[in-house]
Amino acid sequence: MAVRGGSVGLHGAAQRRMKEVNARRSFEVEDSSDCKFAHMFDEMDADGSGAVDRDELKNGLKRLGLPCDAHAVDRLFRRFDVDGNGTISRPEFADLANQIAYVTSS
């Protein structure tokens, strides 16, 4: 991994992130009923596409009584849309839901 001027090189960071994405994909639950947050995901996935878009996430957060302004949704997408396709997939949502559970329990 290249270190330049005290910061990690982009290439090394990108490789680590892709390993994380691939590890998550290899752990995808075949039976969605086994997923701890499957029900929450299914409720937010209003169009049944198998992914949650920005509007669906905003509406779902609103129903949960959580911050759902455009800035909050943008921050969540930057953090949890790991593959950058503009939607939150079920494995990405599991990470997001764990974070929501952690924040709301403290």
Contact 25, 19 (CB under 8 A): no
36-68 pLDDT per residue, tens: 678 889 999 999 999 999 999 999 999 988 888
Q: Which domains does the chain have, with CATH numbers?
A: 32-105 (1.10.238.10)
Q: Residue 101's pLDDT is what?
A: 78
Contacts by 14-23, CB closer than 8 A, 24 or more apart: 17/82, 20/82, 21/82, 21/83
Contact 41, 33 (CB under 8 A): no
Average pLDDT of the chain, as a whole number: 76
14-28 pLDDT per residue, tens: 555 655 555 454 444
Contact 99, 33 (CB under 8 A): no
Contact 73, 54 (CB under 8 A): yes
